Amino acid sequence: MHLPGSMSLMSGHLFVVHGDLLGVACDAIVVPSGSGVDQARSVRAGHVTSAWVGELGPAVQDGFLDDAPDASRPVVRVVDGDGIRRSAVWAGFSGDRGDEPLEFYTRVVDAFIAQAGAHARADSESTPRPLMSQRPLVAMPLIGSGEGGRRDDRGGLLLGVVASMAAAAAREDVDVVLVLRDATAYAAAQQARSRIEARELWGELST
């Protein structure tokens, strides 16, 4: 998947794309992982849906991650990568109760961008990259909107997550791609990002 970019960007930037997370050439992706009922009918962390099992390989057994994120450790790197040739795969805790506050998900966003960005920066390479920049490039879906805890409040989740992603991208100097398969959610995310950028621009002009 081609991402529009510019070498003039002075710090990490948020991109919003309509498509498939697995089609983005980047240093790292994060997939959602929540709690579920295992074969012994016990509730445990680390459940992933069948859509992600192929990317996680032997890290998943019977639908559960061996090393799983949870409320105290929001993200975990589960598959090592090889730069943009093969993205590292992280798991982010997507909730399980159904009443998690927005801050629950922005913690996942902040932790993933900071940790995956730092890991990618430490393993930086000189091969050509999608945005013609050595800045780390990470991608993520809208964590919590599928089987996660805020699937019934996607609008509020999206607005808060977009703002958190934009702030973390600039703070950590990491380029971030929010990938949305749903056209309506994609349009809403684009509008949210535009409002954030306009607000930042007016703030700079007024200082």
Cα–Cα nearest to 180, from 157, 201, 202: 157
Q: Considering the domain boundaries, does residue 115 fall inside one?
A: yes
CATH of the domain at 18: 3.40.220.10
Q: What is the pLDDT of residue 124?
A: 66
Q: Considering the domain boundaries, does residue 169 fall inside one?
A: yes
Q: What is the pLDDT of residue 107?
A: 94
> Domain total for the chain?
1
Q: Considering the domain boundaries, does residue 24 fall inside one?
A: yes
Q: What is the pLDDT of residue 68?
A: 92
Q: What is the pLDDT of residue 10?
A: 66
Q: Considering the domain boundaries, does residue 146 fall inside one?
A: yes
What DSSP string runs through 126-190?
Answer: -S--TTSS-S-EEEE--TTSSSSTTTT-HHHHHHHHHHHHHHHHHHHT-EEEEEESSHHHHHHHH
Q: What is the pLDDT of residue 200?
A: 60
The model's pTM is 0.83
* 116: containing domain: 14-205
The secondary element (H helix, E strand) that includes residue 24 is: none
Which pair of tokens denotes residue 146? 């599928």
Q: Considering the domain boundaries, does residue 188 fall inside one?
A: yes
- Cβ-in-10-Å burial (0-12, 13-18, 19+) of 38 comes to middle
**pLDDT by residue, tens only, the chain of 207 residues:** 545 433 335 689 999 999 999 999 999 999 999 888 888 888 888 999 888 888 888 999 999 998 999 888 999 999 999 888 889 999 999 876 666 788 888 999 999 999 999 999 987 665 556 666 789 999 999 887 654 445 556 667 788 889 999 999 999 999 999 999 989 889 988 888 888 776 665 444 344
Cα–Cα nearest to 33, from 58, 70, 73: 70
Q: Considering the domain boundaries, does residue 66 fall inside one?
A: yes
Q: Considering the domain boundaries, does residue 6 fall inside one?
A: no
Q: Considering the domain boundaries, does residue 76 fall inside one?
A: yes
Q: How far apart are CA 59 and CA 38, in angstroms?
A: 16
